[in-house]
Structure 1
Amino acid sequence: MKGIILAAGKGTRLYPMTKPVCKPLLPIYDKPLLYYPLEVLMKAEITDILIIIPPGEEKSFSELLGDGSRLGLSISYREQKVPKGIADAFLVGEDFIGTDGVCLILGDNIFYAPDFDRLLLEEKRKHQYASVFGYWVEDPRPFGVVEVNAEGYAVSIEEKPAVPRSNYIVPGLYFYDNDVVAKAKTLQPSARGELEITDINRLYMQEGKLSVCPLPREFTWFDAGTADSLLYAANSIKKMQDSGIFVGVLERIAWEKGYINEECLKQSCQEYENTQYGKYIRSLLQREKGR
């Protein structure tokens, strides 16, 4: 399975801070926002990854992650010339996807749960056609809302409904089979001129092929698309790390999954030696030596 991070949004809701800096490169506490969706793909054991970026930004992204080899990944970049919506990612990434299935994650979404690795791998293993996650919120009206039947399949999807049929919203993480490319080609732009991911999901739903995995109520999800949500996410990550729960440490995932060896970990220690991030990586090495 291939992985795509859609990181091409202009971040206009965050102006003026995103005028000189692409939104996925903004900091969420001590790491770039992009690290958090990349961590999710790594936890799902997806190592062949395309990052869709705005025009003229490849140098900045490449300076951060390169070709991914230092993390045991293969990372490539492709520009989305014109913002055409989330579903456009499958057209931009058509050649990259090839004949494989694909996991798409939005570049401003942060997911965390202690057993998220297990949940992701389970969803990936049983994946057949299309699957999304359902996240319970008190007020789902500002979001895309999904209604699920007893068998775990979507029976309705609505964008920002005045009267929601459920409290489950669809966060920015999706698994699809290879048919998603053909389905994306059939879409017409919505009233706001975009190819909507909801329309992709609706096509699968109409075929009875859109499964929904409800996330546990204690699950942590942030959509860092506004100044308030960006600050809230950063403060939440700081609180978690102050309590010893480190999120978005890519070297840790790469090390635990066997993507990199001890020498790679040592190189990251040296690169980040004067930072909290680097100290945490060093603790992984010390823990390994203590076994």
Structure 2
Amino acid sequence: MPPLLQRKGILLAGGKGTRLHPLTLNTSKHLLPVGDRLMIHYPLATLIAAGIREILLISTPQHLPAFEQLLGDGGPLGAHLHYAAQPRPEGIAQAFAIAAQAGFLSDSEASVLALGDNLFHGGPELADTLANAAARADGATIFAHPVPNPSDYAVVEFSPEGHPLSLEEKPASPKSSYAVPGLYFYDHRARALAATLKPSARGELEITDLNRRYLALGDLHVEKLPAGTTWRDLGTHANIHELHLWNSARQS
């Protein structure tokens, strides 16, 4: 296993959770039970498994106190948790501005950004893949996983040699079946590059645009998740139900 790079984690657990209404009318979707734990525990465990110990959890002003009450300082989990509010949901890449304003992330620090509604489950091969990404000092590392509905996600197109050619956010005509999961490793340039982004047509600072910056620089690494890895976006009723079935089958 490669040596760990000192890297800070950002766990984004904001948003309105509209895809999960009415369950999220009075709570954060990331605090909903999924399987034998709460949704937020899955991406938090992924960060910790990747060797990340300093983690900033970002949520809405309304829901942030509940996360603080649930997770505290992170000590029992083997981490050191910090908290910051996202006043308005203005895109995933907004997390870097919030982390900077909170004094959590400087221009000299590498980071990893995890979405609070993504689950990763796998064996030693997945652990090695995450460790390699965490140890890579230069550029950005994102992941790719084949899905039957790529139009619902950011999609990466590969060359015949396996190099990334393009990234598209929820394309009507996907150039591949490979979706980009919500886990992104960045070098120290992410904060400054994110500050140059302009809102997209839907008024958000898109994480895909930040990844395109790295692609244009020739510094984007895309790792296909190992065979046997389970990845789920838990932001819909159907996906949560599917995970309940998967979890029950795994424990039976």
Q: What is the aligned counterpart of 2:119 among 110, 117, 121? A: 110
Structure possessing the higher relative contact order (Cα contacts under 8 Å, 6 or more residues apart): 2
| 2:30 corresponds to 1:24 | yes
Q: Per the alignment, do residues 97 and 152 of structure 1 end up closer, same or farther by CA in structure 2, a change over 3 Å counting?
A: farther
Segments of structure 2 that go 5 or more residues without pairing to the other structure are 1-6
The range that moved more, 41-50 or 62-71, is: 62-71
Q: Per the alignment, do residues 67 and 158 of structure 1 end up closer, same or farther by CA in structure 2, a change over 3 Å counting?
A: same
The answer for the alignment partner of 2:10 in structure 1 is: 4
| 2:137 corresponds to 1:123 | no
Larger radius of gyration: 1
The answer for the alignment partner of 2:234 in structure 1 is: 224
One-letter code aligned to 1:44:
A
Please report how far the alpha carbon of residue 150 of structure 1 lies from its aligned counterpart in structure 2 after TM superposition.
5.8
Normalising by structure 1, what TM-score? Answer: 0.80
Say if 1:152 and 1:213, in contact at 8 Å, map to a contact too: no
- Cα distance in 1 for partners of 2:173, 2:229 equals 25
The range that moved more, 152-161 or 69-78, is: 152-161
| 2:167 corresponds to 1:157 | yes
- Cα distance in 2 for partners of 1:59, 1:102 equals 24
Q: What is the aligned counterpart of 1:36 among 39, 42, 51? A: 42
The answer for the alignment partner of 2:105 in structure 1 is: 97
One-letter code aligned to 2:50:
A
Segments of structure 1 that go 5 or more residues without pairing to the other structure are 244-291
Normalising by structure 2, what TM-score? Answer: 0.91
Task: Report how many aligned residue pairs link the two structures.
Answer: 242
| 2:66 corresponds to 1:60 | yes
Please report how far the alpha carbon of residue 152 of structure 1 lies from its aligned counterpart in structure 2 after TM superposition.
5.0
Please report how far the alpha carbon of residue 144 of structure 1 lies from its aligned counterpart in structure 2 after TM superposition.
1.1
The answer for the alignment partner of 1:287 in structure 2 is: none
- Cα distance in 2 for partners of 1:151, 1:88 equals 33
- Cα distance in 2 for partners of 1:70, 1:142 equals 36
- Percent of aligned pairs with the same amino acid: 44
Please report how far the alpha carbon of residue 36 of structure 1 lies from its aligned counterpart in structure 2 after TM superposition.
0.2
Q: What is the aligned counterpart of 2:183 among 161, 173, 176? A: 173
Q: What is the aligned counterpart of 1:84 among 90, 102, 110? A: 90
Please report how far the alpha carbon of residue 187 of structure 1 lies from its aligned counterpart in structure 2 after TM superposition.
0.9
Which structure: greater helix fraction? 1
Please report how far the alpha carbon of residue 239 of structure 1 lies from its aligned counterpart in structure 2 after TM superposition.
2.3
Which structure: greater strand fraction? 2
| RMSD of aligned alpha carbons | 1.5
One-letter code aligned to 1:78:
A
What is the SS of the residue equivalent to 1:186? coil
| Deviation beyond 3 Å, 4+ runs, structure 1 | 149-153
Say if 1:153 and 1:209, in contact at 8 Å, map to a contact too: no
What is the SS of the residue equivalent to 1:182? helix
- Cα distance in 1 for partners of 2:234, 2:148 equals 18
The answer for the alignment partner of 2:3 in structure 1 is: none
